[in-house]
Structure 1
Amino acid sequence: MLYSLHVKNLALIKEQEIEFTDGLNVLTGETGAGKSVLIGSVNLALGSKADKDLIRTGADYALVELTFFVDNEKTKKKIQEMDLPVEEDGTVILSRKIMDGRSICKVGGENVTVRQLRELGELLINIHGQNDNQTLLQRKKHLDILDSFAGKSVQEEKKKLKEVWSLHEEIKEKLEETDMDEATRKREQDLAAFELEEIENAELKEGEDEELETKYRRMANSLKITEAAGEARELLFGDEGGSASDAISSALQRLIQVSSYDESVKEVSDQLGDIDNLMTDLGHSLSAYLSDLEFDDEDYNATEERLDLINHLKDKYGKSIEAILEYADEKQKQLDILSNLEEEREKLRKKLDETKEEAKKLCAKISDIRKKNAKTLAMQMKQALIDLNFLDVQFRIDVIPNEDHITAGGYDEVIFMISTNPGEDLRPLSEIASGGELSRIMLALKTVFADQDDIASLIFDEIDTGISGVTAWKVSEKLGQLSSSHQIICITHLPQIAAMYDRHFLIKKGLSDSRTITSISSLSDEESIDELGRMLGAGEVTDAVRQNAREMRTKALETKA
């Protein structure tokens, strides 16, 4: 569950800390008080697009921090598989610091990407905003909803289908590529043969280019190297006297002459003797190196020509010798195909038919799974809709196969069919549902799915759009029912829903240091009665209005009990 939300310097919020509870957390307030900022802050912490304009004027940054408590072992395991930290007690802390031009995302103090935040958010909380209702009007969404309800049984078959259909499309592409007349075939064959021969004649060896480049670089710079090494040898071992070697030898002789007079002098002369021996070895090494630097023009030209050939092949066939050799293998395969084109195409056609037939069988299996689950989902949806004051509702999910339209996800079209009035035929949901009906249908879906997923927290942003009266009570009852097994955070304008609270928060605007701020406070039961009275629309909250609000709260508590 979401334990707390900490917001700082975001829009009109200076700094707020909100601690949520189990059950139903209700947030109310006047229109424009800043309720949307609250949902926006949660979305930001979960990786939605950040805009620098959200930073409170005069502040350098905005900060949003969410603290979750995870007690579901399956969810814990998924988080750990993402290599993200979970405290021993199940605490997971997400934070996002938004600055001008960038943001810093963290989980448990460790830096993460925005993508990781989104993936983690999908495991911890489900946010339903006002715009989500419109997705119910999209038929593709109906297919996604049904497949989500079917779960592993359909996902495993869809995975198999995706692999088969990917192979089918690959074969189909090869068949199209090899569809050519005789003249084109001959031209392609000659080109492949020419390129293959050019590569084979080069007799390339892996790593050869690096060795040649090292050798060529040394040969091309040999004059500079020879001059430097020669000068070094002259300074150390010059024949005209005054060299370092001569100086060391002379010094050694002088010390040897007096070493018998003092043991300490002998130690120094021994050390100098070691240096004299090293100088002799160094002289031999320098002479040998200078001797090796000698090369003839033929060797230099041959190396240059070989490198030119290799680089020419790199320009045509690949960035490295390994890539060129791989290209040659592909050309050999292409040449084999072109040499026996009709035979190869016949094999491809046969494989294409086989993969299509296999895909059809998988599509049929997936369709059967969908039809079975469609009946179950439709039955559960109907009951949930009746609970939400659709008194004579009919709900059906049509799964319509189309073998001529196979995709990686199957060949079905899924349509939600509904009738909300007695005597009316069922029609597609997109043709008849009003705004208020869509809100209730979405809530019914959330209720049905609540027992299937492992997400403990649900946020509803104004689920009450377009409803009132008895229907509002039915929605309130459904939220109360759902809150017995899930943490619900609900922004509402309706007192019927607000009365069902386990914790009630008030969002309001005010002034601080002559600046507008949005504040969020937890209400006591008496304060909540006053807020319910305001929501009843009576203007002044009189004793009679309070009594009405108390009766509404009592009814809500009885329903929850």
Structure 2
Amino acid sequence: MLLSLHVRDLALIAEEEVSFTDGLNILTGETGAGKSILIGSVNLALGAKADRAVIRDGAEYALVELLFAADHEAQLDRLRELSLPVEEDGTILIKRKILPSRSICTVNGETVTAHQLREIGSLLIDIYGQRENQTLLQRGRQLDILDDYAGEKAAALKQRVREHDRARRALEEEWNRGDMDGQARSRELELLDFEIHEIEAAAVKPGEEEELDRRCRRMASAGKISEKIGLAAELVDGDGGAAELIARVCRELREVSGKDEALEPVAEQIGEIDILLSDFTRTLMDYAEELSFDPSELEEAEERLNLIRRMSEKYGSSEDGFAAALAERQERFLALTDYEETRGQLRVRLDKERESYLQAARDLSGVRRAAAKEFAGRLRQALLELNFQQVMLNIEVESDESRGDGTGIDRTVFLISMNPGESPRPLDQIASGGELSRIMLGLKTVFAGRDEIHSFIFDEIDTGISGQTAWRVAEKLGRLSRDHQLLCITHLPQITAMADTHFRIRKDSEEGRTYTHIEELSGEESLGELGRLLGGAAVTEATLRNAAEMREMAQSVKRADS
């Protein structure tokens, strides 16, 4: 459930905060008052693309905050799967700060990406507007809707279909890559034989390249190293060097340390330094003796290093001694040597995987056909309740095993007739904007008891309807709101009369600037707004009586349904 919305410095909104209730939340206002800004802010908070143009003039950034309460344990489980923190009481605070060059998105204080926001939003709320209505016309979306209705059984089969489709395609690619004539096979065998012997002859050991590189650098710098070692030895062990001076210090302190116990630790320290300096001199001399080498060693090491580097360019990293490259070529060599047998084995695997795919796809088709009949019946009844005079509705599942993909072998088309005497035709050929709005509401009614989402936003679902049809839509929203939270932007008094909570969006000019405000209306204020929707510019006593009568009718419908 969406508990609250807080917006700051977004378009015409300076700062607004609104708390929503369960049931039917109605939002009304004059055309251009900023209702689209409100819905846009929710979309932005849930990961929609943000443009710096939405930041209010003069502001450094725009901020949108949504506070949700998770309604189902399944929602909480999915949020935990996304590794997102959820408060103990199940609340989820989503914040999006929109700056000129970037956005900062957080969920309960943890930074997330816009993609993660969209995932979270899809778990918490559904938003329906004209764009969402248009998706009904897409045949691929119609298949998704049918699969959603078919539920877990279809979902499990779709997963099987996807897995077999991926495996089938991988084997088909392997089959196509391995298709070659005798001459091409002989050429590749010859190349593989050469490369296998080249790798085996090189016998590169793990870490050998790094060790050779170290040795080459050391031998190439031997002259300079020897010079510096000699100078260091002279400074330490020569006449007047560090060793002689330290030894003298030791003698001087030993002569007096017995006269004052406080000097004993100092004498011990300089003695340790004398010993360390002797050890240093021996280590330096040992290193100098090891530094000598035959010039041919450097030449051999450089040749070996160059060989390894050339092979690294050809076969990849030498870190594992080219074992992977060697194994790959040996495997390919054996496969080409026994080409016909290998191809035969691959053909058997490919045929088996294709049959597994088709069987899973056929099983999915069966589930879809069974669900289509039931779904069509329920959707037809829902549409009749939305004041369609006649509804003939068929959901056809057409299967073609030659065109299967990751979704299966089916194509779905919604065939509908809403006028007597007309045969059912594809939905995308006949539905108007108002009809699409009602069909979408009918769909949502059918799904209402099947999904885990509690909150829905309907953005002007009343487009293209009026009169008795508007009243039927209002009744349907009222029934849907018994078990769900609905936020509905509308211009129609019939829908407004059904409100459990009523908000008005208005636009004002203050000190030369324009502001959009949202306010919750009291009972009398809501009645006045309903009167405005009924009567236009002037709200008369007669209009208010009409508004009160319409509200009472709406409340009686809700009481009868409860």
CA shift, 1:54, in A, is: 0.5
Q: d(CA) in 2 for partners of 1:470 and 1:182?
A: 78
Q: d(CA) in 1 for partners of 2:267 and 2:97?
A: 70
Query: Could you tell me whether the CA contact under 8 Å between 1:533 and 1:546 is conserved in 2?
Result: yes
Q: What is the TM-score when the length of structure 2 is the normalising length?
A: 0.96
Q: d(CA) in 2 for partners of 1:63 and 1:267?
A: 67
Query: Could you tell me whether the CA contact under 8 Å between 1:317 and 1:323 is conserved in 2?
Result: no
Query: Could you tell me whether the CA contact under 8 Å between 1:178 and 1:341 is conserved in 2?
Result: no
Larger deviation, residues 46-55 vs 67-76: 67-76
Q: Could you say what secondary structure the match of 1:32 adopts? A: coil
Query: Could you tell me whether the CA contact under 8 Å between 2:27 and 2:502 is conserved in 1?
Result: yes
Q: d(CA) in 2 for partners of 1:423 and 1:266?
A: 118
Code of the residue aligned with 1:31 in structure 2: it is T
Give the aligned partner of residue 357 of structure 2: 359
TM-superposition CA deviations, 1:285-328 (whole Å, max 9, x none): 11112222222222222221111111101111213433832122
Give the aligned partner of residue 452 of structure 1: 450
Q: d(CA) in 1 for partners of 2:76 and 2:129?
A: 26
TM-superposition CA deviations, 1:134-164 (whole Å, max 9, x none): 1111111111111111121011112122222
Pair 396,273 (structure 1): closer, same or farther in 2 beyond 3 Å: same
TM-superposition CA deviations, 1:47-103 (whole Å, max 9, x none): 111100100000000000000011311111211221111111111100000111111
Tell me whether 1:404 sits opposite 2:399 in the alignment. no
Give the aligned partner of residue 438 of structure 1: 436
Q: Residue 428 of structure 1 is aligned with which of 420, 426, 429? A: 426
Give the aligned partner of residue 223 of structure 1: 223
Pair 395,283 (structure 1): closer, same or farther in 2 beyond 3 Å: same
Q: d(CA) in 2 for partners of 1:260 and 1:156?
A: 91
Give the aligned partner of residue 514 of structure 2: 516
Code of the residue aligned with 1:71 in structure 2: it is D
CA shift, 1:412, in A, is: 0.8
Give the aligned partner of residue 321 of structure 1: 319
Q: Could you say what secondary structure the match of 1:321 adopts? A: coil
Code of the residue aligned with 1:386 in structure 2: it is L
CA shift, 1:481, in A, is: 0.7
Q: Could you say what secondary structure the match of 1:476 adopts? A: helix
Query: Could you tell me whether the CA contact under 8 Å between 1:400 and 1:412 is conserved in 2?
Result: yes
Code of the residue aligned with 1:59 in structure 2: it is A
Q: d(CA) in 2 for partners of 1:260 and 1:431?
A: 112
TM-superposition CA deviations, 1:145-198 (whole Å, max 9, x none): 111111210111121222222221112112211222211111111112222221
Give the aligned partner of residue 121 of structure 1: 121
Q: d(CA) in 2 for partners of 1:537 and 1:333?
A: 84
Q: Could you say what secondary structure the match of 2:401 adopts? A: coil
Give the aligned partner of residue 380 of structure 1: 378
Give the aligned partner of residue 233 of structure 2: 233
Code of the residue aligned with 1:122 in structure 2: it is S
1:387-398 correspondence to structure 2 within 5 Å: 387-398=385-396
Code of the residue aligned with 2:489 in structure 1: it is I
Code of the residue aligned with 1:331 in structure 2: it is R
Give the aligned partner of residue 38 of structure 2: 38
Q: Could you say what secondary structure the match of 1:404 adopts? A: helix
Structure 2 runs not aligned, ≥5 long: none
CA shift, 1:510, in A, is: 0.4
Pair 42,167 (structure 1): closer, same or farther in 2 beyond 3 Å: same
Pair 258,530 (structure 1): closer, same or farther in 2 beyond 3 Å: closer
Aligned length: 559
Q: d(CA) in 1 for partners of 2:264 and 2:165?
A: 89
Give the aligned partner of residue 54 of structure 1: 54
Code of the residue aligned with 1:543 in structure 2: it is E
Query: Could you tell me whether the CA contact under 8 Å between 2:6 and 2:15 is conserved in 1?
Result: yes
RMSD over aligned Cα atoms? 1.6
Pair 268,366 (structure 1): closer, same or farther in 2 beyond 3 Å: closer
Q: d(CA) in 1 for partners of 2:531 and 2:351?
A: 70
CA shift, 1:267, in A, is: 4.6
Query: Could you tell me whether the CA contact under 8 Å between 1:7 and 1:64 is conserved in 2?
Result: yes
Pair 538,271 (structure 1): closer, same or farther in 2 beyond 3 Å: closer
Query: Could you tell me whether the CA contact under 8 Å between 2:71 and 2:454 is conserved in 1?
Result: no
CA shift, 1:249, in A, is: 1.2
TM-superposition CA deviations, 1:249-308 (whole Å, max 9, x none): 122223334445444445543332222222211211111122222222222222211111
Query: Could you tell me whether the CA contact under 8 Å between 1:538 and 1:545 is conserved in 2?
Result: no
Give the aligned partner of residue 273 of structure 2: 275
Q: Residue 489 of structure 2 is aligned with which of 473, 478, 491? A: 491
Structure 1 runs not aligned, ≥5 long: none
Q: d(CA) in 1 for partners of 2:357 and 2:268?
A: 88
Pair 323,89 (structure 1): closer, same or farther in 2 beyond 3 Å: farther
Q: Residue 345 of structure 2 is aligned with which of 344, 347, 353? A: 347
Pair 234,55 (structure 1): closer, same or farther in 2 beyond 3 Å: same
Larger deviation, residues 220-229 vs 176-185: 220-229
Give the aligned partner of residue 151 of structure 2: 151
Give the aligned partner of residue 192 of structure 2: 192
Code of the residue aligned with 1:487 in structure 2: it is Q
TM-superposition CA deviations, 1:479-533 (whole Å, max 9, x none): 1111111100011111111111111111111012220111111111111111111
Q: d(CA) in 2 for partners of 1:449 and 1:254?
A: 98
Give the aligned partner of residue 97 of structure 1: 97
Q: d(CA) in 1 for partners of 2:509 and 2:200?
A: 82
Larger deviation, residues 381-390 vs 528-537: 528-537
Larger deviation, residues 213-222 vs 542-551: 213-222
CA shift, 1:537, in A, is: 4.1
Q: What is the TM-score when the length of structure 1 is the normalising length?
A: 0.97
Q: d(CA) in 2 for partners of 1:436 and 1:323?
A: 70
Code of the residue aligned with 1:15 in structure 2: it is E
Query: Could you tell me whether the CA contact under 8 Å between 2:24 and 2:487 is conserved in 1?
Result: yes
Q: d(CA) in 2 for partners of 1:328 and 1:153?
A: 46
Code of the residue aligned with 2:98 in structure 1: it is I
Q: d(CA) in 2 for partners of 1:465 and 1:186?
A: 70
Q: d(CA) in 2 for partners of 1:342 and 1:38?
A: 67
